[in-house]
Amino acid sequence: MAGLARREKFDLPEPFRRFLEGDWDTTSMKVEEFRDGNTLVVRAEVPGIDPEKNVDISVSDGVLHIQAEREEKSEQKLKDGYRTEFRYGSFTRDIPLPVGCKEEDVKATYRDGVLEVRIPVPEKSTTSSKIPISRA
């Protein structure tokens, strides 16, 4: 097949290149949620961000809201030119909280590209009372 030039991967149209490289679902935030004793733990994968500038965590109406923004820049100096690429996006996740969780008890940490949010979950009341039934 003489005469056909091999295309470099960055010569492909952006949507096709992102799809082939496995980066076609950039609008979601990967999250895992589990219980650690009496604590709800939510971990979100948000690499390449500054948590102090690019993450907002809030609780309202029994829902944990996580919003993050990411901006990446890559530069390549080639022998016949210069190439730069920007990637950015906004990611949000809303997670319903168990009844009784308090906003002031929520703690968040960021380490190695993983945001971890810990929320103490109050124990359920185990006391019950029998309700008498009267005949009408």
- Please identify every stretch of the chain with a pLDDT value under 50, giving residue numbers as ranges: 1, 3-10, 22-26
Q: How many CB atoms lie within 10 A of CB 29?
A: 18
pLDDT value for 28: 61
Q: What is the CATH number of the domain that holds 55?
A: 2.60.40.790
pLDDT value for 125: 62
Whether 20 is in a domain gets the answer no
Whether 78 is in a domain gets the answer yes
Q: Which two tokens stand for residue 127?
A: 């006391």
pLDDT value for 66: 92
| Segments forming the whole domain that contains residue 90 | 28-120
pLDDT value for 18: 52
What is residue 34's DSSP assignment? E
